[in-house]
Amino acid sequence: MKTITIEGQLRTEHGKSATRQLRSQGLVPGVIYGGAQEINFSAPAKAFKSLVYTPNFQLAEVNVAGKTYRCILKDVQFDKVTDALIHVDLLELVEDKKVIASIPLKFTGAAAGVKAGGRLVPKMKTLKVKTYPKYLKAQIEVAIDALEIGGNLRVEDVKEENYEIMNSPRIPIVSVVTTRALRQEEASAAPAKK
C-alpha cells in the first residue's frame, strides 16, 4: 500500500486568527488523534495533494517535531467559496486498536451477463470496514465472473478475512442490467401477436 510522507510543524497557537495566519502562508492546519495524545500541526497545502485528491486508500506518515505518526485520512474541510483545502483530520494507527476505514472496491473478472450483452453498473465505490491497522490494504477485490443479467452482488456477498464490514448487508454493490439494444433484440425475436 502506498504511503505519503508529510513534513509538518507543531502548532502552538490555536483560534481563528492563528489559523487564518497559517492559511495566508500557504499552510493547512491539521490534527492527529486516536493515539496517546492529540497533535495539532500544520503543513504546506501541496503536501496533502496526493493524499486528499485521490480515490485510492493510502497511509500517511506525518513527521512532526522529530516524531513520525502513521495515520489514515479521516476528514477534510474545504473553503466554501475558493474550494481550497482548509483543514485535515488524521487518525493515528495504533497496532492493538481497531480502526474504521473506507476501502475502495476493485471488481475483477468479466461478468457473464456483460458477455451476454448486459451492462455492468457499479453501485458502491468503497466499503466501510473495521479492522486492525496491520490488515489495512489498498483495495478489496470482488470477483464478478458469475454475475448474470439482472443479477446483483450485495455487501453480504463480500467475504474478506479480518474485516468486519460496517455497511448494511443487503445493499447491492454491483449489478448487471439489460441494455436498450438487448431489449430491442428480444422484442424483435418475439413472434408478433395478432
Q: What is the DSSP letter of 21?
A: H
**Strand segments (E) across 36-167:** 39-44, 59-64, 67-78, 85-92, 99-108, 119-122, 126-131, 140-143, 152-154, 164-165
Q: What tens digit of pLDDT does each residue of 112-166 get?
A: 999 988 899 999 999 999 999 999 999 999 999 999 999 999 999 999 999 999 9
Q: Are 142 and 105 in contact (CB under 8 A)?
A: yes
Q: What tens digit of pLDDT does each residue of 7-37 get?
A: 999 988 888 888 889 989 999 999 999 998 9
Pairing of strands 3-10, 59-64: parallel
pLDDT(192) > 60: no
Q: Mean pLDDT, the chain, as a whole number? A: 91
Confidence category of residue 180, pLDDT binned at 50, 70, 90? confident
State the cell numbers at 141. Answer: 477485490
pLDDT of residue 122: 95
